[in-house]
Amino acid sequence: VGGSGAVGGSGAVGGSGAVGGSGGTTGGTGGGTGGTAGASTGGSAGTAGTGGTGPVLFCGDGVVDLTKEECDGNAEGRAGNTVTCDTNCKLKSWCNITPTPAAGAPGIGCIFPPAGRASGGTYATISGVGFDSSTTVTIGGAAATMIFRSPTEITFFAPTGTVNSWADVVVQNSSGLTATRTSAFAFHKDANVAMNANDTGADSLRAKITAAASGDFVTFDRFVAGQTIQLGSQIAIAKNLTLVGMGAGRTVLDGGGTHPVMSLGTNTIELFGLTVTNGSGSNGGGVRAGGTRLTMTECAVVGNTSSGEGGGIYLDSAGYLHLVRSTVSGNTGNAGAGIRLVANTVPPTGLLSNSTVSGNTGDGIFSDIPLTVENSTIVSNTGAGIVARLSPCTISGSIVAKNGNDVTGGSGFVSLGYNLIGVAPVGGPWGVSDKTGTNGAPLDPLLSGLALNFGLTQTHRLLTGSPAIDGGDPISTLTEDQARMPRPSGGVVDIGSVELQQ
């Protein structure tokens, strides 16, 4: 693009004057007018440049870089044209040339599979937003080989990692902006992979659990995802073990309605990304944990039955239950249709974080032990939402509503604020930041039905006008909800397990 022609220099005084500088060269197509002739002192005047056609591009002080050699008259620049200027560079407004914006911040949605061989080379996919061809992926601080598919999908070959460990996943795009998913990719021994959906036999899940050493991670081949493992008997785990599924909707353990799905011993056990369903037992239809130090992350415990207590999960002895970004729904039982936490000589402890307990026939949670409920949603259970019988329940940022009886029990509750309680007992611990209803005027949280809302476990989305929207702690340090969507969205975090994306 031709700019204004250069002004000719002055010739030297006296003698044969130097020739004045020539004017600018001919303006290019889409360029500005040619330069004026240079003045002469003692020499010949320079030649004026010839004007070009199209809009004038004026660069006051900077560098203009067009990736196309022409712009389309005074119309909008064609797709792909970019303008790169420094701080003082100016464009005539009527040129209608729009600089290409920088890529926005990336976001990580689903990582599939969420586990790979410690020896490296596992092929995986990340869905999300804000990806571009210059995006990089690191796993546990080591660079992965990335393949750009689209602004919402990238694939990678994982680097090597530390066996039996979780690693952070970091994505960075061309803008230098990053997204981090903590403890999102598991590295395991090459041999610890269930290669089929068979109940027994070589390469089955049961065989891999039996062969694993204490402390091992066991996972599934990506091609087993979407298949249900029909169990002929309960899976018993009596060693420290981490079982990494492909996601609650992709790895399903089915008890067949005749026995519990899992029986866990006095060990440290983590279950990640799987569904426990259709189990049946006297205490603990889905998962029975005897003194287990149990963490369940991004799991679904759905449709299990107990003739006694704990339709979904039953925990006793000196263990603990940490339920994180998980859903317990549609289970049936007496005390604690969803979850039963039993006290013994050394009481275990319970924690629910960013989780949903919904639609159980009986109590959502029946607890004898110290229980902490944070940023969770406990609704639509036919019995009580939470029974705190022998030890108090500490609750914060949570919805407990639309149950047969929302909160009850002899040991009572401790509120850390910012809860929504549909019907709160008179004289309870509720403070000014809590939103509470009464028997005569229950407080409706305005929730959608249980469904997949972004994540791989079902949740209740907040409807327009819900009193839970922006009702959370204004100085909360939360960064994500049950589906790992960002918190806050809209200024202040929402109450419950789901953040409405505004």
State whether residue 168 is helix, strand or coil.
Answer: strand
Q: Has residue 419 been placed in a domain?
A: yes
Q: Where are the beta strands (DSSP E) in 195-353?
A: 216-220, 227-230, 235-237, 241-244, 251-254, 262-264, 268-272, 275-277, 280-281, 287-290, 293-297, 300-302, 305-306, 313-316, 320-324, 327-329, 339-341, 349-353
CB 412 within 8 A of CB 392: yes
Alpha helices per DSSP H over 17-89: none
- Mean pLDDT, range 429-438, rounded to an integer: 96
Q: Within 10 A of 179 (CB to CB), how many other CB atoms are there?
A: 20
Residue closest to 254 by CA, chosen among 237, 281, 289, 278: 278
Are 285 and 408 found together in one domain?
Answer: yes
Sequence-distant (6+) residues with CB within 8 A of 430 are 415, 419, 421, 424, 436
pLDDT exceeds cutoff 70 at 430:
yes
Task: Give the pLDDT of residue 102.
Answer: 52
pLDDT of residue 13: 38
0.85 cut: is pTM over it? no
Whole-number pLDDT of residue 428: 86
**CATH number of 350's domain:** 2.160.20
- Residue 493 is predicted with a pLDDT of 97
Per the document, the length of the chain is 502
The verdict on 366 and 274 lying in the same domain is yes
Distances (CA, A) of 182 to 37, 94, 185, 305: 66, 48, 8, 34
Phi, psi at 461, each rounded to 5°: -80, 145
pLDDT in tens, 195-241: 999 999 999 999 999 999 999 999 999 988 889 999 999 999 999 99
- Total structural domains within the chain: 2
Residue 63 lies in a domain: no
Other beta carbons within 10 angstroms of residue 265's beta carbon come to: 15
Q: What would the pLDDT profile of 476-488 be if each residue is shown by its tens digit? A: 998 999 999 989 9
Look at strands 178-188 and 165-172 and give their pairing: antiparallel
Helix ranges restricted to H, 250-332: none
What is the separation, in whole angstroms, between the first and last Cα of the chain?
A: 44
Tell me which of 187, 210, 226 is where a domain ends. 187
In a domain, 380, yes or no: yes
Judgement on whether residues 282 and 175 belong to the same structural domain of the protein: no
pLDDT band at 345 (very low <50, low <70, confident <90, very high): low
Mean pLDDT of the chain: 84
What is the Cα–Cα distance from 225 to 223, expressed in whole angstroms? Answer: 5
- Tell me if 212 is assigned to some domain: no
* pLDDT (average), residues 112-133: 96
Six token digits for residue 197:
């959906």
Q: Which pLDDT does position 78 carry in this prediction?
A: 31
Q: Give which of 109, 104, 141 is closest to 125, Cα–Cα.
A: 109
Asked if the model's pLDDT at residue 263 lies above 70, the reply is yes
268 & 169 share domain: no
| DSSP secondary structure letters along 185-213 | EEEE-TT-EE-S--SSSTT-HHHHHHHPP
* 295 lies in the same domain as 376: yes
Asked which of 187, 220, 240 is the last residue of a domain, the reply is 187
Q: How confident is the model at residue 497 (pLDDT cuts 50, 70, 90)?
A: very high
Say yes or no to pLDDT of 57 above 90.
no
Closest CA to 236 of 263, 217, 210, 214: 263
**Domain that residue 112 falls in:** 107-187
pLDDT computed for residue 44 by the predictor = 52
Q: 262 and 164 in one domain? A: no
- Residues 266, 146 share a domain: no
Site of tokens 């007496």 = 334
Assess if residue 194 is contained within a domain: no
The DSSP code for 121 is -
Can you give the pLDDT at residue 81? 36
pLDDT at 29: 39
353 backbone dihedrals φ, ψ, rounded to 5°: -135, 125
267 and 182 inside one domain: no
Tokens coding 494: 């929402």
Is pLDDT of 101 > 50? no
Domain-embedded: residue 315: yes
Q: 96 vs 399, which has greater pLDDT? A: 399
Q: Is 313 helix (H, G, I), strand (E, B) or coil?
A: strand
CB 334 within 8 A of CB 352: no
pLDDT value of residue 346: 67
Domain membership of residue 130 (yes or no) is yes
Residue 137 lies in a domain: yes
Q: What is the pLDDT of residues 123-163, one digit of tens each?
A: 999 999 999 999 999 999 999 999 999 999 999 999 999 99
Q: Are 190 and 214 in contact (CB under 8 A)?
A: no
| Burial state string for 2-36 with b = 16 or more CB within 10 A and e = fewer than 16 | bbbbbbbbbbeeeeeebbbbbbbbebeebbbbbbb
**Average confidence (pLDDT) over 27-43:** 43
pLDDT category, 88, cuts 50, 70, 90?
A: very low
For the beta carbon of residue 347, count every other beta carbon within 10 angstroms.
Answer: 18
380 pLDDT higher than 50: yes
Share of the chain above pLDDT 90, in %: 71
Q: Are residues 264 and 361 in the same domain?
A: yes
pLDDT at 21: 45
Q: Select the more confidently predicted residue: 77 or 110.
A: 110
- Same domain? 298 vs 163: no
Q: Are residues 276 and 183 in the same domain?
A: no
CATH code of the domain containing 114:
2.60.40.10
pLDDT at 59 over 60: no
* CA–CA distance, 17 with 45 (Å, rounded to integer): 11
The values of phi and psi at residue 473, to 5°, are: -70, 120
One domain for residues 310 and 427: yes
- Domain finish residue from 409, 436, 463: 436
The per-residue pLDDT for range 468-478, each reduced to its tens digit, is: 999 999 999 98
Pick the more confident residue, 178 or 56: 178
Q: To the nearest whole percent, how much of the chain has pLDDT over 70?
A: 79
Query: 3-state class of 232 per DSSP?
Result: coil
pLDDT: is 369 or 22 the higher one? Answer: 369
